[in-house]
Amino acid sequence: EADIYQTPRYLVIGTGKKITLECSQTMGHDKMYWYQQDPGMELHLIHYSYGVNSTEKGDLSSESTVSRIRTEHFPLTLESARPSHTSQYLCASTAAGGPGELFFGEGSRLTVL
Amino acid sequence: GENVEQHPSTLSVQEGDSAVIKCTYSDSASNYFPWYKQELGKGSQLIIDIRSNVGEKKDQRIAVTLNKTAKHFSLHITETQPEDSAVYFCAASTPGSDKLIFGTGTRLQVFP
């Protein structure tokens, strides 16, 4: 069983609010990722990190930002949420020396009204 | 960059039948091909993977085949059970990259 946790699992908020999706893993993995999953099921990489103080943008442009101050923690923030941000956000991690198995959290489903 | 196509997008089978999901990739340098299962309310989990130095790999009812020349790989599930119902994703990765490029997903339904 993967030791990677996301909170909240579900969030419904109004337009303009600032939100932070939390992701934590206890496996000591250096590499962490955020994927956005649209209703059509496709997974799009929006951010990744190869270690502390390392963050990169993924293949899909996103208005969200991330930070990596601690190895185990990779939060995603939206400064001003909009209805177009409504989606499922999946966090994942893997050990260094990849490619190898990605361990996924259970996801955070965000709805912006 | 790498592009992965996956077919079909939905697949319905009777319990006990076999299910096959196919993926094609564009970058001939790709060398790692995992398959993930996503169940409702649960995190996606790796179910099987294959590297480019192997043509086939089996794990009980699940097998993956890789055709490097044609740049496609397939997931085979035999003797399907209702608990196999889920969304399945293929992915590919190139050497030196730690990013997985995912296919578009296949929703598999196994009817009792």
State mean pLDDT over B28-52.
92
User: Where are the alpha helices (H) located in chain B, listed in sequence order?
Assistant: none
CB of B102 less than 8 A from some CB of A = yes
> Measured between CB atoms, does B96 come within 8 Å of chain A?
no
Find the mean pLDDT for residues A41-58: 92
Q: Is there a contact between A102 and A94 (Cβ–Cβ < 8 Å)?
A: yes
Give the Cα separation of B40 and A30 in Å (integer): 28
Label residue A35 exposed, middle or buried (CB < 10 Å: 0-12, 13-18, 19+). buried
State the Cα–Cα distance between residues B103 and B34, nearest whole angstrom: 11
Task: Tell me the average pLDDT of chain A.
Answer: 92
* A71-74, Cβ contacts within 8 angstroms, sequence gap of 24 or more: A71/A28, A71/A29, A71/A30, A72/A24, A72/A25, A72/A26, A72/A28, A73/A22, A73/A23, A73/A24, A74/A23, A74/A24, A74/A25, A74/A32, A74/A34, A74/A49
Query: Which of A45, A90, A100 shows the shortest C-beta gap to B99?
Result: A45
Task: Indicate the residue of A4, A48, A99 with minimum beta-carbon distance to B32.
Answer: A99
pLDDT confidence band for A50 (50 / 70 / 90): very high
Following CA atoms A44, A49, A55, A59 in sequence, which dihedral angle do they give, to the nearest 10 degrees? -20
Is B100's Cβ below 8 Å from some Cβ in A? yes
The answer to whether the Cβ–Cβ distance between B98 and A45 falls below 8 Å is no
Query: In this structure, what token pair is assigned to residue B43?
Result: 């995190």
Per CB-CB distance under 8 Å, the chain A contacts of B93 are 98-99
Which amino acid makes up residue B88? Answer: Y
DSSP string for B30-45: --EEEEEEE-TTS--E
pLDDT in tens, B50-88: 998 889 999 999 999 999 999 999 999 999 999 999 999
Residue B10, chain A, CB below 8 Å: the answer is no
d(CA A81, CA A60): 17
- Bridge partners (DSSP) of residue B93 are B32
> What number of other Cβ atoms are within 10 A of residue B15's Cβ?
13
pLDDT of residue B53: 85
**B65 vs chain A: nearest CA distance in angstroms?**
18
Confidence tier at B108 by pLDDT (50, 70, 90): very high
The pLDDT assigned to A1 comes to: 58
Phi-psi region of A50 (alpha: psi -120 to 50; beta: other; left: phi over 0): alpha
Share of chain B above pLDDT 70, in %: 100
Q: Which residues of A touch B42 (CB under 8 A)?
A: 106
Q: Give the gap in angstroms from C-alpha B23 to the nearest C-alpha of chain A.
A: 14
pLDDT at A24 over 70: yes
